[in-house]
Amino acid sequence: MLSSNGVAAPLGLAEFAARLEQLGGFEHDPFIAVAVSGGPDSLALTILADRWVRLRGGRMCALSVDHGLRPESTAELRQLAAWLAARGIDHRILVWRGEKPSTHIQERARAARYRLLQDWCREEGCLHLLIGHHRDDQVETYRLRRAAQSGRDGLAAMAPVRETAHGRILRPLLAVPKSRLLATLAAENQPFVIDPSNCNPVFARARLREHTEPAGGRGVFAALSRHGRARARREHARDALLARAAALHPAGFALLDRDVLAEAPRETAMRALSALVGGLGNRPYPPRRRSVERLFDTLLGTARGGRVLAGLRFVPWRRRFLVLRELAAAAPPTRIEPGASLLWDGRFQISAPATAPLVWVRYLGSDGVAELHRCTAELPARGLPPLVHPVLASLWDPTGLAAVPALGFRRPGVTALPQPVFALVNCLSRARFAVV
């Protein structure tokens, strides 16, 4: 949008509110978080989001991440904190601690940033995390993925709404050019921080900005819209198939119906299989397509090969497959202190009462199965096939096997034990790719 004199117009509160309402799903008095680096994009978003949430009687916290990668970043964040304090905006700085990478710096810093932001939101009960990506960023993402010959899903670029295990990541500015955000800050007389890494030709985005015109053009956005709608349709078909073909068991495994998978279109079936492997295998990225194709053909009996992928075993059972953890790829036995909480093996959330004894969590394994049979003559009827027993979460203390919760076994005299709860980090099905 341009003003009457041809200059980019600031983004007003009414228009910003309309863009947020398109994303939907806010409480009556919302609690939101905004990721702010001090740059113009996130700072404009923070100012507008603060006004929006105040009008609705809600509250907002601005979150910054100190990556510790540049010596001047701490001083920049102190300056940002002063700007936000002058506006009465609550602000927290999250620090990326530990050794820093020497390669793939931007990718690893981005992963650390999102982890810290989402951890804060989870701990504080905040369901909505706003990110300042704008139209220029969206076009850059599309061009980078097209140059890298990305798959069809990748060409849909960034989603304005992305569901996570504990809330949503929202990008309300994806249709707003950067020039309007700069105009917004100019109208507010608000200075901002310039990150020199955004101009460093070592990074792919900086090189793209150097050799292309500013983002724009109806053709790119028409292509993005087409790819986004097509991706949403593919995800709907995949999720519908998963609902019919796969069933998760709270003991930590899945059942996969071979016949339902075989009757589905090949492309949809492989997408469903990929989602199942990525979720149960706790992989941050989908498995390689070629690996999924080999597994799919093996499961359908049209090719020979192993039935192991991404730390999972596919074991035939009554015309279905048991999808079990591969013990060789599993997390090692882990000590659980009284009062502690942890996510074990990316699959089990475990919280120990303060009065709990010191225990270790591990998969039962063949030695544990033998120990279990020594401890009890008869197990409660839980309907779990014996093939599953070695991959059940079990609790051990210095005396030996203390409990196998999924089988209802607890050694006499043992009390106040933690309860492993099957909780995947990567959900098999999420909200479909949004196009707004």
Q: HEC string of the chain?
A: CECCCCCECCCCHHHHHHHHHHHCCCCCCCEEEEECCCCHHHHHHHHHHHHHHHHCCCEEEEEEEECCCCCCHHHHHHHHHHHHHHCCCEEEEEECCCCCCCCCHHHHHHHHHHHHHHHHHHHHCCCEEECCCCHHHHHHHHHHHHHCCCCCCHHHCCCCEEECCCCEEECCCCCCCHHHHHHHHHHHCCCCCCCHHHHCCCCHHHHHHHHCCCCCCHHHHHHHHHHHHHHHHHHHHHHHHHHHHEEEECCCEEEEEHHHHHHCCHHHHHHHHHHHHHHHCCCCCCCCHHHHHHHHHHHCCCCCCCCEECCEEEEEECCEEEEEECHHHCCCCEEECCCCEEEECCCEEEECCCCCCCEEEEECHHHHHHHHHHHCCCCCCCCCCHHHHHHCEEEEECCEEEEEHHHCEECCCCCCCCCCEECCCCCCCCCCCCCC
The pLDDT of residue 207 is 42
- Supply the pLDDT for residue 424: 81
Is the distance from CB of 9 to CB of 2 less than 8 angstroms? yes
Mean pLDDT on 209-231: 66
pLDDT, position 208:
45
- Looking at residue 430, its pLDDT comes to 63
Portion of the chain with pLDDT greater than 70, in percent? 87
Most confident of the following: 42-51, 190-199, 348-357: 42-51
5 vs 48, higher pLDDT: 48
Mean pLDDT of the chain: 86
356-396 residue pLDDT tens: 888 999 999 999 999 998 888 776 666 788 999 999 999 99
Task: State the residue for tokens 């949004």.
Answer: 434
Percent of the residues in the chain that have a pLDDT greater than 90, as a whole number: 56
Q: Quick one: pLDDT band at residue 81, thresholds 50, 70, 90? A: very high
Positive or negative torsion for Cα 86, 90, 91, 92:
positive
Q: What is the mean pLDDT of residues 18-39?
A: 92
CA distance 394 to 411: 12
pLDDT at residue 203, as a whole number? 41
Residues 6+ apart with CB under 8 A from 271: 234, 237, 238, 241
| pLDDT score of 423 | 87
pLDDT, position 433: 59
Residue 101 tokens read as: 């990478």
CATH code linked to domain 13-216: 3.40.50.620
CA distances from 169 to 135, 211, 271, 309 (A): 17, 30, 23, 30
* Maximum average pLDDT range among 106-110, 135-139, 323-327: 323-327
Q: How far apart are CA 346 and CA 280, in angstroms?
A: 9
Which pLDDT does position 160 carry in this prediction?
Answer: 86
Tens-place pLDDT, residues 173-216: 998 999 999 999 999 999 999 866 544 444 444 444 444 454 45
* pLDDT score of 7 more than 80: no
pLDDT confidence band for 86 (50 / 70 / 90): very high
Mean pLDDT of 116-128: 94
pLDDT at 355 over 90: no
pLDDT at 50 over 80: yes
CA distances (Å), 57 to each of 32, 53, 87, 149, in order?
12, 6, 17, 46
- The pLDDT assigned to 429 comes to 66
Whole-number pLDDT of residue 380: 64
**Ranges of each domain in the chain:** 13-216, 242-328, 331-422
Comparing 15-19, 181-185, 212-216, 251-255, the range with the smallest average pLDDT is 212-216
